[in-house]
Amino acid sequence: MKYKRILLKLSGEALMGEKQYGIDMDRVAQYAKDIKAVHDQGMEIAIVIGGGNIYRGLSAEKAGMDRVQADYMGMLATVINSMALQDALEKTGVKTRLLTAIKMEQICEPFIRRRAVRHLEKGRIVIFGAGTGNPYFTTDTAASLRAVEINADAVLKGTRVDGIYTADPEKDASATRFDEITFSEVYEKNLNVMDMTAITLCQENNLPIIVFDMNKPGNFMKITNGEQIGTLVKG
């Protein structure tokens, strides 16, 4: 395996599958199967999931809701997604732990860095819910922060596109994909990879990011085995 410990970032929208909102359990089951295959090879895996399939704080703010209130509601949406993925993973026979930045003792453990690392060392898949626990921070930033805290080797961002493009490939047919790009180029070209807080955290801690298509079965395994899939952001 190319990496020993990784953090997988999934968007909430990815869990919708072919639906317009909510959770497509067939899609979640496919993700669980792919994640288990990598885990079975000895990889230590932590996961952060967004909540955009259920609730988007920024959209609510535009509609007039208080930003802090809206962001906390978005954090709760990420916990719902995390519980769905946890259930799907455990149905495959994998042991998991859900740790959240907001205390919810009945359904998960509070995030404690040393406990999270210990779970990973014991071979459990760790899911981090509720973002950073703070408003004004995205789940991309939460993913970068948790990855740095647990000393992950890389952040793997699973999306529905196969990498980073010069423009949105779903809107611009002339968009071309980068195989590799530097953090500085992401800034200069204003590319939509992760928000700038997340990018800066990774850059300052020399933590590479790989953006890839998680919806294609087997891609997650290929990346962890070192194959050139998606776009690598480093240096």
Question: To 5 degrees, how large is the angle CA 186–CA 81–CA 6?
Answer: 50
Give every CB contact of residue 132 below 8 A, 6+ residues apart in sequence: 101, 141, 142, 145
pLDDT in tens, 76-89: 999 999 999 999 99
Which one-letter DSSP state was computed for residue 132? T
Taking a C-beta distance cutoff of 8 angstroms, is the pair 51, 137 a contact?
no
User: Could you tell me the two tokens for 129?
Assistant: 């819910």
Residues with Cβ within 8 Å of 131's Cβ and at least 6 positions away in sequence, in order, are: 74, 75, 78, 101, 137, 138, 139, 141, 142
- The whole-number pLDDT of residue 173 equals 84
Please give the model's pTM, rounded to 2 decimal places. Answer: 0.94
Give me the residue spans of the domains in the chain: 5-152+184-206
What b/e sequence results for 106-133 when a residue is b if at least 16 CB atoms lie within 10 Å of its CB, and e otherwise?
eebbebeeeebbebbeeebbbbbbbbbb
- pLDDT in the model for residue 193: 85
CATH 3.40.50.261 applies to domain 5-152+184-206: no
What does the pLDDT read at residue 18? 85
Q: CA 57, 60, 62, 64: dihedral to nearest 10 degrees? A: -130
Q: What is the pLDDT along the chain (235 residues), one digit of tens a residue?
A: 689 999 999 999 889 988 888 999 999 999 999 999 999 999 999 999 999 999 877 677 788 889 999 999 999 999 999 999 999 999 999 999 999 999 999 999 999 999 999 999 999 999 999 999 999 999 999 999 999 999 999 999 998 888 999 888 878 888 899 999 999 999 998 888 899 999 999 999 999 999 999 999 999 999 998 898 999 999 8
Mean pLDDT of the chain: 93
